[in-house]
Amino acid sequence: MKNTLRQVFHSGKFVAGFSIFVFILLMMIIYPLINPGNPLERIGVGTFAKPGTYVSLYDSVSSDRETLRLADADENRIKSMMSMEDRVSMVAWFTAMDISVEGVDMNDTDALLTMWRENYDEKARPAGMTKAQRNFYVRLNNSITSANTAEVLSVTETNSATGEVVDKGKIDKTDYVNVGDVANVKTLPLGTDNFGRDVLKELVSACGTSIWIGFIAGIVATLIGLLLGLLAGYLGGIVDDIIMFVTNIFTVIPSFVLLILITYSLGQDQRGATTVAVVIGLTSWVWTTRSVRSQVISLRNRDHVNLSKLSGHSLMRIVMTDILPYIASYVVMAFILQVSSGILAEAQLSLLGLGPKTTEVPTLGLMMNWAMLYSAHLNGSWWAYFPVILTIAGISFSMNLMNTGLDQVFNPTLRD
């Protein structure tokens, strides 16, 4: 046993897969300690807030200020204020003035601004432009150049009792606050989803649930498969025929279809995460059965097994001591694959709208389903779906690596 383990941990592939998996597990344990709370809590009112650090505007007004004179501050401000419409209008002005706009990239703010400053002339009268349009450009030009003039924002407070507006102070362009001084700062490394939930917190929790689903499905499938495989392989005869008849039927009928039928019939209210996991397990034992059976058949006429039979050992004992240890590695490998395909099955079911009920726990599949329902992939909210895909792929990848590693340890012909 010790030797086997040492051998297994010498396999580079297994260790790589194992490390990825342990890393994911550690994340699941450690992250909730750093950032506790309900993963389904809706913190944002809008949908799909971008990833980043959010600073309370309200609190920053009353925080201690420092005056910093930064050379590029005005330039940055102008750039961040230039909307897409402004850019389009600027290009339209160039075109109206017969200035070549070839090679102008609307997203290249610097180039666009330089070009504008070089070419814009307030007195110019582009052909076919009304006075109102010309005035628009004057305003646009002012807003672009006015950053140099001192404009001061004033903060007022509305008294809720009297409705009186009280002046609370001014904000200069050179006023800065230290983020550390602001009372409320929230970092959302992966933004929020369509419900305004913290995606990272949700993802960590979903990852845990999905691995749980995978494990339950894997255990159920492996137990059934092991039992049926042992029975069929060791007993042979009519038992084997019956078991193989059923197994052959379920090999051809896609488990995906059975899964859909059963989960749909269960109804939304009955579908907890564990129930879905058990159903997945119940529909995916076929491969383990076949694999175990074929192994047992190749074992059952070996000398040591015959010796045990001759010694009059009970069936239970023969199976436990003479057969199981020999197929243990196969069972472990099959189990690993069951876990990863269980996670995938849950994700696919959830995408069809047949996943666990949505009110209790997030799962990777449900997160994916929500992201798709709210078109995160079409409106550029990559943080709502890409980490989910990456997590699913990461978990399966780690498990497949472990499996390949084990395969090479136990099947010397495959070694590199």
8 A C-beta contact, residue 388 and residue 374: no
**Measured between alpha carbons, how far is 259 from 274 in angstroms, rounded to an integer?**
14
Least spacing, CB of residue 216 vs another protein, in Å: 16
Question: How many Å apart are CA 123 and CA 142, to the nearest integer?
Answer: 14
Q: Does 380 bind another protein (CB under 8 A)?
A: yes
Instruction: Please spell the DSSP secondary structure of 63-129, one letter per residue.
Output: S-EEE---TTHHHHHHHHH--HHHHHHHHHHHHHTT---TT--TT-HHHHHHHHHHH--TT---TT-
Contact map string, positions 252 to 271, toward another protein, x by CB under 8 A = xxxxxxx-xxx-xxxx--x-
Which of 47, 272, 351, 374 lies at the binding interface for another protein (CB under 8 A)? 351
411 token code pair: 């099947």
Would you mind telling me the total number of residues written for the chain in this entry?
416
The CA distance from 389 to 323, in Å, is: 40
Instruction: Choose one: 91-99, 151-159, 197-205, 249-257; the region binding another protein (CB under 8 A).
Output: 249-257
Number of residues that bind another protein (CB under 8 A): 65
Give the Cα separation of 120 and 324 in Å (integer): 84
The contact mask relative to another protein for 381-410 (x = CB under 8 A, - = no) is: -x--xx--x--xxx-xx--xx-xx--x--x
Do 394 and 386 touch, CB atoms closer than 8 A? no
Q: Positive or negative CA dihedral for 126, 128, 132, 137? A: negative
What's the gap between Cα 317 and its chain centre? 46
Which residues within the stretch 81-120 sit at the binding site for another protein (CB under 8 A)? Answer: none
Choose which of 38, 119, 248, 306 interacts with another protein (CB under 8 A): 248
- Of 93-101, 208-216, 306-314, 341-349, the window that binds another protein (rule: CB under 8 A) is 341-349
Binding characters for another protein, 292-321, by CB under 8 A (x = yes) = -xxx-xx-----------------------
Specify the residue, 146 or 375, whose C-beta has the smaller distance to another protein. Answer: 375
What residue ranges bind another protein (CB under 8 A)? 248-249, 251-258, 260-262, 264-267, 270, 284, 287, 290-291, 293-295, 297-298, 330, 333-334, 337-338, 340-341, 344, 347-348, 351-354, 368, 372, 377-378, 380, 382, 385-386, 389, 392-394, 396-397, 400-401, 403-404, 407, 410-411, 413-414, 416
